[in-house]
Structure 1
Amino acid sequence: MRAVVARGYGGPEVLELVTVALPEPGPGQVRIRVEAATVNPVDLVTRSGALVEAGLMAAREHTGIGWDAAGVVDRLGAGVTAFAPGQRVIGLRDLLDVPLGAYAEYLVLDATAVAPAPAGASAAAAATLPLNGLTALQSLDLLDLAAGDTVLVTGAGGAVGGFAVELAARRGLRVVAQTGAADAEFARSVGAEWIVGRDASDLAADVRRLVPGGTDGALDTAGLGIRALAAVRSKGAYATVVGGSAPLPLRGIRVHQHWISADAHALTELAAMDLTLRVADVLPLERAAEAHDRLAAGGIRGRLVLAPAKGA
């Protein structure tokens, strides 16, 4: 099969399309014929070698790239009864250090990381849900807010931020979305009650003018750290999805650094919610380096998706 790997570490030029043996599913695993694989910021970080430098991965001659995918069940490992060959699914690999990732024609995942695909969604759209949707869902769970509470979501125009606003609003939370003017309409369309600007010089002051005393919580998808924490009331809750950006737990605020984990049950729930799935563009697998360049340049709304096989 064909797959894209990082040959060494560096810029997009280290991405290489290779031919490798078709992976076989072991006990409790599912092999997926990949129709769409999402390009995420963590892919750029992995390719650069930053995770090796941070001690989160061992150095490899070649490294698998890509976390989430959508496709069709191709083969089942022993003991798997929840899926059937031909079934449309989505999945997430949450292991950092792997020789093959989702940028491939076939992907083997534990069945506990696979869920039925959202009904009616294209493969490209479905592939944007696992990593970003689960990140938003699990981060909101950490905040543990109740219906009627207020929450600040930074980076609300982004992939994780957009899901966070939509999921928070569906939980009955009142959302302050921090985002640029170009994304304000989108944030409102998925449930934001208030908007504060992305370039606000004093984010906390802007938020507190809308919510006196500060919000009950903040989901900081933009990694603003203390700037977002300052918008939260004393003894509130804060969660960040950006590694290394968690501030000190000042004023009794509960501070969480979220790290994603695959969860088939939660992913199944997300897939059934009819969430807003945004695709910026679909490119063939061999244009992975171009996708990385475009993502690094910024300004992407929705996710870039690679299509290893027909069906995206």
Structure 2
Amino acid sequence: MRAVVVHTFGGPEALELVDVAVPVPGPGQVRIRVSAAAVNPVDAVTRAGALVEAGLMAPRAVTGIGWDVAGEIDEVGAGVDGFAVGQQVIGLRDLLDRSLGSYADYLVLDASAVAPAPTGVSAVEAATLPLNGLTAFQALDLLELAEGDTLLVTGAAGAVGGFAVEIAARWRGVRVVAQVGEADADVVRALGAEWVVPRDVPDLAEAVRALVPGGVDAVLDTAGLSAMALATVRNRGSFVTVVGGADPIPLRGIRVHHTWISADGAALATLAAYDLTLRVAGTLPLEQAAHAHTRLAEGGLRGRIVLTTAPGGGS
């Protein structure tokens, strides 16, 4: 089968398309025939070697690339209940130091990292959900918000931010302040944001507190604003960041957390049932993974580029 791997860390050209043996599922695992794999920023930093430098991943001779997967169950390992050959699924590969990722024709995952695919959407669309959707879901869990509470989401038009706005507003009854660029104001309002604060506002805390006197109950900081975003939170509120190195000092009794994503098939099944807005920036065939990484580095995307395993497919 084909797989995209890295032997020597570097730029997009470090991605190599190689032929490898089809993986075999062990007990408690399933094998997925991959239809689509989303391209995420973490794939780029993995390719560049930044995760090894940060001590988050052990050095290895061959590094697999890709977290998100959508496809069809191809084989079921011993002891697996609830999945059957031919079933459409989504999953998350959160074990970093492996020689195979989701940029491949087949992927083996623990059954606990897999969920039935959302209905009524393509595999390409479904592949954009696991990593970013779970990150938003798990970050919101850490904030422990009640219905009617207020939340600031920074970078609200991004992949994690957009899911966070939609999940919080539509399924948890939270009142959301979205911080975005002017061009994305209508996008986040459509996702459920009650208020919008411009990304270039001179004083974020002043602008948010003008909308929510006393400060918001919580912040989900996807933009890495750190102390600037912390200043919008009421005393003894809560703050979560998803950006490495952006944890502010927990002033004024504010609870500060960092979200580290973990595969969770049950939570993924909940997300799949939410009918979330899935945004695809474009598709490319697996063999053009390097081009996808180049486009990702150029920025300005709304949604994810998705790699497909159909040879030559893309748009």
Q: Distance in 2 between matches of 1:284 and 1:4?
A: 11
CA distance in 1, matches of 2:61, 2:25: 23
1:160-206 Cα offsets, whole Å, 9 max, x none, are 00000000102111100001111111100010011111122211111
**2-structure distance, mates of 1:109, 1:200:** 44
Superposed, which structure 2 residues align to 1:201-212 within 5 Å? 201-212=202-213
Question: In structure 2, how many angstroms separate the alpha carbons of the residues matched to 1:143 and 1:254?
Answer: 9
Q: Does 1:6 align with 2:6?
A: yes
Matches within 5 A, 1:163-182: 163-170=163-170, 171-182=172-183
Following TM superposition, by how much is the alpha carbon of 1:259 offset from its aligned partner in structure 2, in angstroms? Answer: 0.2
Task: Find the aligned partners of 2:22 and 2:236 in 1 and give their Cα distance.
Answer: 52
Distance of 1:143 and 1:205 partners within structure 2: 22
The residue aligned with 1:299 is 300
Q: Which residue of 2 aligns with 1:57?
A: 57
Q: Secondary structure at the match of 2:217?
A: strand
Separation in 1, partners of 2:219, 2:30: 36
Gaps of 5+ in 1: none
1:8 and 1:60 in contact (8 A); partners too: no
TM alignment of 1:1-312, pairs within 5 A = 1-170=1-170, 171-309=172-310
Calculate the TM-score normalised by the size of structure 2.
Answer: 0.97
Partners of 1:111 and 1:76 lie apart in 2 by 9
SS at match of 1:139: helix
Cα distance between partner residues in 2 of 1:184 and 1:164 = 15
2: CA distance, partners of 1:200 / 1:44: 30
| 1:66 aligned counterpart, secondary structure | coil
Distance in 2 between residues matched to 1:89 and 1:299, nearest whole Å? 29
Deviation at 1:242, TM superposition (A): 0.9
- Within 1, Cα distance between the matches of 2:25 and 2:200? 48
| Aligned mates of 1:258, 1:215 — CA distance in 2 | 19
In structure 1, C-alpha distance between the alignment counterparts of 2:266 and 2:310, rounded to whole Å:
27
Residue 218 of structure 1 deviates from its aligned partner by 0.3
Counterpart amino acid of residue 252 in structure 1: G
Paired with 1:299 and 1:241, the residues of 2 have a C-alpha distance of 19
Pairwise CA distance, 1:209 = 1.0
Residues 2-45 of structure 1 deviation map (CA, whole Å, 9 limit, x = unaligned): 00011211110100000000000000001000000000010011
Q: 1:77 Cα shift?
A: 0.6
Which amino acid in 2 is paired with 1:77? G
Give the superposed CA RMSD: 1.1
Counterparts of 1:58 and 1:260 in 2: how far apart (Å)?
18
Encode CA deviations 1:35-83: one digit per residue, 9 max, x unaligned.
0000001001101111111111122222100001100000001111210
**Count of residues paired in the alignment:** 312
| Separation (CA, whole Å) in 1 of partners of 2:158 and 2:121 | 20
Q: Distance in 1 between matches of 2:9 and 2:37?
A: 21
Q: Is the 8 A contact 1:284 1:308 kept in 2?
A: yes
* Distance across 2 between alignment mates of 1:52 and 1:2: 25
User: Equivalent pairs: percent with the same residue?
Assistant: 71
Q: CA separation in 1, counterparts of 2:117 and 2:185?
A: 29
Can you give the 5+ residue segments of structure 2 that lack an aligned partner in the other structure?
A: none
